[in-house]
């Protein structure tokens, strides 16, 4: 009997654990996942997406109603408003947790009872592709595993990464300003545990293969409850070695390959998405050779697109887009502008100058934003992310402040995102145009709370039913644009894309369907001034009939020009 799967797994494991019996380890992993050594592989370079795919990102308790469990309320709300717009729902960590709004997990196999139960998760998975977090880098200091670490018993005794104050940590890349090592008292004395993010989030020790086996069991459990898309949270920091940067190490990439191999052999439609808030070139490495992430978060898009719209200059956005390699078949980008976290500044490394970054930060501060910092290896504190609601981030321009173009600027940003190569992902507060929640920041003392509002269902429904409300205007127009996008073959996540050169006030690119039977020229006025577009500059084929998908207006004179109002977009297509 051929054992291709087992042989492939053993080879991968040997790259991570050269001193171990990897044949035995492979057997344990396959048994844990319920796989046979000869399990057939899924089709190579298979795409799990199309132009109809749109992701919605939300916390389990973003929408609430009285005593009803928030997951049940969320499910009803999604079905009522987004069943025709959204194909996948990413529910941010819904497990019992001790901090960081869910990312300090206490029990991977339980649903936070204040949110609901597994039956609520499974019900949502019946109506949408379900995306969930695999919080793989760290676990709560209040978890059972960590309590067992303190007691020096299993399971947990050797599950957490330990360091030594004498270790060479000078090159370690940090996303925070807190110390990387935290002293803890255990039953056999003081030990120093590694905490990449906070002292309540203790890093797991994947050098112990038992931790990998535990996560194989967790993955299988999620798959059997309807999760099909796995977001590997903070995965870049997974493997640690003192004396190195402790980020993007080769063992980390190998472990991603192993997790993907196990997932897709169990469920051929399973998708791995890596969350790596790092500079663009580093982020791209997580595609591997189309054998690591199926999709990567397009982390440079949010700061560059927002910067473009508040400066009225698309130079950096255009330069970046021209440098982005087309994703191989079977891989794609996850495009987003806002998330539960802030606007990452590290992804602008090498893309914006220090002066431009500071101007961006100053502009966001003037619109009510806050700044979170990280500590560099040389001890300096550098801006890590800007914490702000996207609707407020686009309320004006750099230098001139707030103006009356906020809604149009906000819509322009999403029209760009919807047309780009990749899968669009909307944070729920962007679909709802929620503003800065300064009261929540004061209540929690956490800057990220500014963009983690919670709505009472009745209040939200009244806003969405009110045609004069900006919440209603944004939600209805975004749903209309999504509906248009979902019908265009040229917007397939892997369809051809080329950047257009239309000056600094017009950001444009061309998409062509994989069958080459549809072209769409996506042109966006990213300024607060009227712009003219000479149609001869974009070379529309004279034998085709062209029209704007967004407005429905036909293009009658191909030798003429079109006028774009401030922040107006057109999708010029040769096919309905």
Active site members:
233
Q: In this structure, is the dihedral angle defined by the CA atoms of residues 4, 5, 6 and 11, taken in order, positive or negative?
A: positive
Nearest to 52 by CA among 465, 484, 474: 484
Phi, psi of 153 (to 5 degrees): -130, 165
If you search the block for the tokens 């980020």, which residue do you land on? 247
Task: Please return the burial class of 44, using the count of CB atoms within 10 Å of its CB with bins 0-12, 13-18 and 19+.
Answer: exposed
Q: Name every residue whose Cβ is closer than 8 Å to that of residue 99 and which is 6 or more positions away in sequence.
A: 140, 198, 200, 201
229, 268 contact by CB (below 8 A): no
DSSP label at residue 113? T
Tokens of 97: 């947790």
Question: Whose structure tokens read 């230098």?
Answer: 399
- Return the closest-CA partner of residue 80 out of 483, 457, 486, 340: 457
Q: What angle do CA 409, 420, 128 make, to 5 degrees?
A: 95
Per-residue CA distances from 43 to 12, 40, 49, 270, 330 (Å): 20, 9, 14, 12, 10
| Of 274, 528, 505, 493, residue with least CA distance to 397 | 528
> Tokens 């920041």, residue?
441
Helix (H) or strand (E) holding 333: strand 332-335
Distance (Å, whole) CA 523 – CA 502: 9
Q: Would you list which residues are annotated within the binding site for substrate?
A: 100, 138, 231-233, 340-341, 448
Which segments are annotated as binding site? 100, 138, 231-233, 340-341, 448
Do 300 and 280 touch, CB atoms closer than 8 A? yes
Residue 27's H or E segment, with its range, is helix 22-33
| Beta strands 455-456; 63-64: pairing state | parallel
């Amino acid at each position: 009997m051929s054992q291709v799967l087992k042989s492939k797994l053993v080879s991968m494991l040997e790259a991570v654990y050269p001193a171990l019996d990897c044949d035995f380890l492979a057997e344990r992993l396959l048994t844990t996942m319920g796989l046979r050594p000869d399990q057939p592989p899924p089709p190579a370079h298979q795409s799990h997406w199309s132009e109809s795919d749109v992701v919605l990102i939300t916390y389990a308790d973003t929408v609430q109603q009285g005593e009803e469990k928030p997951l049940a309320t969320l499910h009803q709300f999604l079905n009522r408003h987004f069943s025709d717009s959204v194909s996948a729902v990413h529910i941010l960590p819904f497990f019992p947790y001790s901090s960081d709004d869910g990312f300090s997990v206490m029990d991977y196999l339980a649903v936070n009872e204040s949110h609901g139960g597994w039956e609520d998760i499974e019900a949502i998975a019946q109506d949408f592709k379900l995306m969930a977090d695999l919080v793989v880098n760290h676990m709560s200091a209040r978890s059972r595993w960590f309590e067992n670490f303190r007691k020096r018993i299993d399971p947990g005794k050797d599950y957490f990464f330990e360091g030594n104050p004498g270790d060479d940590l000078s090159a370690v890349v940090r996303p925070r300003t807190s110390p990387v090592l935290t002293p803890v008292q255990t039953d056999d004395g003081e030990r120093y545990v590694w905490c990449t993010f906070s002292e309540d989030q203790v890093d797991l020790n994947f050098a112990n293969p038992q931790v990998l086996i535990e996560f194989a069991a967790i993955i299988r459990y999620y798959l059997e409850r309807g999760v099909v898309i796995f977001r590997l949270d903070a995965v870049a920091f997974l493997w640690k070695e003192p004396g190195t940067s402790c980020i993007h190490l080769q063992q980390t990439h190998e472990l991603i390959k192993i997790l993907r191999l196990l997932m897709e052999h169990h469920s051929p439609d399973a998708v791995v998405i890596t969350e790596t808030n790092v500079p663009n070139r580093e982020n791209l490495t997580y595609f591997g050779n189309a054998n690591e992430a199926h999709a990567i978060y397009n982390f440079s898009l949010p700061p560059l697109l927002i910067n473009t719209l508040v400066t009225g200059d698309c130079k950096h956005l255009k330069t970046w887009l021209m440098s982005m390699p087309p994703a191989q078949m079977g891989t794609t980008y996850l495009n987003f502008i806002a998330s539960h976290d802030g606007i990452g500044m590290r992804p602008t490394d090498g893309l914006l100058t220090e002066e431009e970054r500071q101007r961006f930060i100053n502009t966001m501060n003037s619109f009510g934003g806050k700044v979170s910092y990280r500590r560099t290896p040389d001890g300096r504190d550098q801006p890590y992310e800007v914490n702000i609601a996207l609707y407020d981030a686009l309320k004006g321009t750099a230098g001139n402040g707030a103006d009356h173009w906020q809604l149009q600027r906000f819509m322009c940003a999403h029209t760009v995102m919807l047309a780009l190569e990749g899968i669009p992902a909307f944070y729920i507060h962007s679909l709802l145009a929620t503003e800065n929640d300064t009261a929540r920041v004061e209540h929690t003392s956490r800057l990220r709370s500014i963009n983690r509002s919670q709505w009472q269902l009745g209040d939200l429904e009244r806003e969405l039913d009110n045609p004069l409300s900006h919440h209603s205007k944004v939600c209805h127009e975004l749903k209309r644009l999504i509906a248009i996008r979902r019908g265009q073959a040229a917007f397939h996540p892997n369809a051809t894309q080329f950047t257009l050169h239309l000056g600094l006030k017009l950001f444009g690119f061309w998409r062509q369907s994989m069958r080459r039977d549809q072209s769409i020229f996506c042109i966006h006025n990213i300024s607060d001034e009227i712009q003219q577009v000479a149609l001869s500059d974009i070379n529309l084929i004279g034998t085709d009939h062209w029209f704007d998908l967004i407005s429905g207006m036909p293009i009658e004179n191909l030798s003429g020009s079109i006028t774009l109002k401030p922040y107006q977009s057109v999708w010029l297509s040769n096919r309905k």
